[in-house]
């Protein structure tokens, strides 16, 4: 107990006696100091006294799959800033292979009595993954928002980029450039946003008389290496345009084309998805479908705060329009 008092007092910059008064519910402490002491308890990993557990700290868990893909740090920056404007502090939780899992982070955040959680790129988007940790959040009735498409049975509010519109504007762009051998490079088969993009891709192709062969759709992991391996099969099959489900996959596709002795965009046009940082600086600058990260991040925080304030928030999905950003990785189809 003495060690806990000392650590919290040092963290907040008050005396141990002041911390003791807060923990014991005694008067004589300002609201600001009381809130600072309780937040310090949460940050340092100490449980609040039983009588104070109903008074949650103003912490919000932000759970991401990784930070190597630049779209996730960008999203974390938007959400963290929007939360700060509302008086909340984000707790960034990033999954690691063989390390702390998403389920582990959920348990940790629940122990810290966070005010809510925001998930992006999580297991909720994978149909074959375990979703038991989301059910624990639902049972606690904890305010939660999911970013981008999820499996249907969870029931959380969602903020998503319109995958159907994204696939359609990308394919329309390549068809306008004369491409008829167009392929789509997606995430794993159980990945819900990839499923939506694929359904839209096939529907738009059929409506516009574009035939799709067995080599025109590939599923892989969201990584540079995954994109390289899958795109190698596509360019070998004679594809001239590749639509990718992420910018990282698109970079892998460009590398695959070059390793096959082809030029981008002269021989193969490549379109990414996200418009993450520095995509205008790669060689060639990447044509991509931009997710409106700023608007989506702010909307996610607004939905979360509305739940925290006990407003009625339906478990619907807010769809945001993507934007095609044309750069130098797409060009007219090569003459046969």
Fold held by 59-161+293-321: Rossmann fold (3.40.50)
Q: With contact defined as beta carbons under 8 Å apart, do 250 and 286 qualify? A: yes
Note the CATH number of domain 163-291. 3.40.50.2300
Reported confidence tier of residue 230, pLDDT bands at 50, 70, 90: very high
Task: List where CATH 3.40.50.2300 sits in the chain.
Answer: 59-161+293-321, 163-291
What mean pLDDT is reported for the chain?
92
Stretch 68-96: mean pLDDT: 92
- Cα dist. 39→88, 118, 133, 188, 289 in Å? 10, 19, 24, 39, 40
**The CATH number of domain 1-44, selected from 1.10.10.10, 3.30.1950.10, 3.10.110.10, 1.10.260.40:** 1.10.260.40
Per residue in 24-36, pLDDT (tens digit) is 888 888 888 887 8
Task: Summarize pLDDT for 127-157 with one digit per residue, the tens.
Answer: 999 999 999 999 988 999 999 999 988 989 9
* pTM of the full structure: 0.84
Residue among 172, 170, 148, 173 nearest 161 (CA): 148
Which has the closest alpha carbon to 270: 230, 231, 309? 231
- Cα–Cα distance between 187 and 167 in angstroms, integer? 14
- Is 51's pLDDT higher than 70? no
Do residues 288 and 271 touch, judged by C-beta distance below 8 A?
yes
Listed in order, the ranges of the chain carrying CATH 1.10.260.40 are 1-44
């Amino acid at each position: 107990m003495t060690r806990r008092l000392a650590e919290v007092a040092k963290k907040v910059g008050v005396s141990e006696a002041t911390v003791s008064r807060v923990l014991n519910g005694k008067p004589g402490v300002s609201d600001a100091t009381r809130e600072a002491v309780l937040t310090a308890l949460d940050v340092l990993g100490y449980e609040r006294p039983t009588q104070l557990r109903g008074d949650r700290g103003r912490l919000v868990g932000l759970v991401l799959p990784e930070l190597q893909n630049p779209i996730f740090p960008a999203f974390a920056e938007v959400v963290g800033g929007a939360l700060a404007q509302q008086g909340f502090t984000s707790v960034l939780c990033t999954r690691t292979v063989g390390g702390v899992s998403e389920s582990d982070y959920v348990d940790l955040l629940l122990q810290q009595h966070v005010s809510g959680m925001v998930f992006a790129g999580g297991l909720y988007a994978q149909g074959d993954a375990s979703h038991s940790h989301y059910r624990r959040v639902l049972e606690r009735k904890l305010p939660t928002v999911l970013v981008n498409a999820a499996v249907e049975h969870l029931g959380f509010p969602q903020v998503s980029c319109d995958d159907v519109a994204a696939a359609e504007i990308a394919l329309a762009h390549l068809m306008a450039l004369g491409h008829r051998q167009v392929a789509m490079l997606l995430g794993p088969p159980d990945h819900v946003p990839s499923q939506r993009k694929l359904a839209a891709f096939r529907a738009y192709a059929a409506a516009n008389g574009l035939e799709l062969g067995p080599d025109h759709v590939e599923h892989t992991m969201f990584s540079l290496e995954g994109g390289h391996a899958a795109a190698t099969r596509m360019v070998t099959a004679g594809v001239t345009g590749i639509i990718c489900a992420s910018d990282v996959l698109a970079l892998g596709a460009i590398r695959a084309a070059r390793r096959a002795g082809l030029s981008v965009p002269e021989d193969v046009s490549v379109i990414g998805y996200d418009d993450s940082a520095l995509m205008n600086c790669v060689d060639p600058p990447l044509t991509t479908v931009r997710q409106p990260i700023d608007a989506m991040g702010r909307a996610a925080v607004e939905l979360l705060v509305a739940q925290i304030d006990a407003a009625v928030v339906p478990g619907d999905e807010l769809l945001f329009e993507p934007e095609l950003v044309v750069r130098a990785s797409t060009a007219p189809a090569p003459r046969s």
